[in-house]
A = this chain, B = another copy of it.
Amino acid sequence: MIMLREQANLAKQSTYALMITSSALRNAALLSMAAALEENVELILNENEKDLSAAAQNGRGEAMLDRLRLTKERVFDMAQGLRKVAALPDPIGGEDFSILRPNGIRIARRRVPLGLIAIIYEARPNVTADAIGLCLKSGNAVILRGGSEAIHSNVAVADVMAQAAYESGLPEGCIQLVRDTSRETATELMRLNSLVDVLIPRGGAELIQSVVRNATVPVIETGVGICHTYVNAAADFDMAAEIVYNAKVSRPAVCNAMETLLIDEAIASRCLPKIAAPLIKRGVELRGCERTRAILLEAIEATEQDWYTEYHDYILSIRVVDGLEQAIAHINKYGSHHSECIVTNDYMAAERFLNEADAAAVYVNASTRFTDGEEFGLGAEIGISTQKLHARGPMGLNELTSVKYIVRGDGQIR
């Protein structure tokens, strides 16, 4: 089996050729990779079948099988995703700062690829195609380490794409999939400092924490979302109920789903029952503070731990607050700085919330479910950063770039 360091070396070597490819070449390669996925759909589905059987034999649940499963439609969706990425503007090569200095040297800051991007992810094989597409579009080489459950699918997808990329004229080695899915190899990947320019983990809290603890290469932390909706005293009750229902129920397993409702005491007794009724009907478990439970008899007691919890499930914690300041303090203490919403018609309250809630995305009167690269108009997304360094919130193609300073002189010395 090819060793990890050898793979990373091949990928790193390819970055020097890759960073000077034209966007015409990179886009043609993406289209050719899309066609190759469609042409090889039978092969990919056969390999996927091996992963599905293994998972079934290992007694994995239906949720895991669904995440693993590829269908003809899903493979064609992966191909369409690549075509969409090909159609986006090239993030590379433009200059966004330039200055002529008094001594005559001219300086410009140019967008360049990051170099080699490593992605560690879990069981969804479509991430393989998405990540390859976004990294190559932005002129980066990529080394992928997916979960062992999806290894046959991932190898098939990556091999088909690497072959098409090479035949299109992209440098050899720019797409690497790590075959060895052991934990040791993942840790080794996190520590390849002169080779990997950035590591992006995509997955659950445990994976992210393992990367943050173990990595010595630069990391972008993604994904954990403890999102709040705060219903201010000046809220429209119907709007509040709709936004809360959508943020909690439309897709509870994703990171931009809501976990905690905060509501002003002044309106809690009138508004909370209105918000709670559809949630209860939908089977959402409510966990409340003391003041909540005095109003909603259905709510069980929320513990301190609840405020720190991303349920990923049909569970909602509820806290009645004294007002705006307590709501913001709660969010800044317990939140994961992902997405936070205020429902209100009070202008000053809205502006203070936008300024003071410390999160990647702060909302007035809209569901936190919109925190997403496509929904934000970024065209595509490789993940949602919950750190403040380099990228915060949905990461599109621009977030997969770095800069270099171009300095032109005619003999200047200092």
Quick check: is A243 within 8 A (CB to CB) of the other chain?
yes
Q: List A167-190 residues whose CB lies under 8 Å from chain B.
A: none
- In-complex Cβ contact of A358 among B19, B239, B390, B413 (8 A): B19
CB nearest neighbor in B for A240: B411
- In-complex Cβ contact of A366 among B243, B354, B407 (8 A): B407
Q: List A91-109 residues whose CB lies under 8 Å from chain B.
A: 99, 101, 105, 107, 109
- Report Cα–Cα, A372/B407, bound state, in Å: 12
Residues of A within 8 A of B (CB): 15-16, 19-20, 99, 101, 105, 107, 109, 114-115, 193, 197-198, 212-213, 216, 218-221, 236, 239, 242-243, 245-247, 250, 332, 354-356, 358-367, 369-371, 375-377, 387-390, 392-394, 402-414
In contact, B16 and A412 (Cβ under 8 angstroms): no
In contact, A99 and B413 (Cβ under 8 angstroms): no
Q: Which residues of B contact A407 (CB under 8 A)?
A: 361-364, 366, 370
Main secondary structure of the interface of A (DSSP, over half): mixed
Report copies per complex: 2
Assuming the A-B contacts A243-B413, A375-B414, are A390 and B390 also in contact, with contact meaning beta carbons closer than 8 angstroms in the complex?
Answer: yes
- Report Cα–Cα, A406/B245, bound state, in Å: 21
In contact, B243 and A360 (Cβ under 8 angstroms): no
In contact, A366 and B409 (Cβ under 8 angstroms): yes
Assuming the A-B contacts A246-B413, A360-B404, A413-B369, are A389 and B392 also in contact, with contact meaning beta carbons closer than 8 angstroms in the complex?
Answer: no
Q: Which residues of B contact A410 (CB under 8 A)?
A: 365-366
Query: Can you show 17 pairs from A to B with CB atoms below 8 A apart?
Result: A19-B355, A101-B376, A114-B389, A218-B218, A218-B387, A218-B388, A220-B389, A236-B411, A359-B404, A361-B404, A362-B404, A362-B407, A365-B412, A367-B414, A375-B414, A388-B402, A389-B390
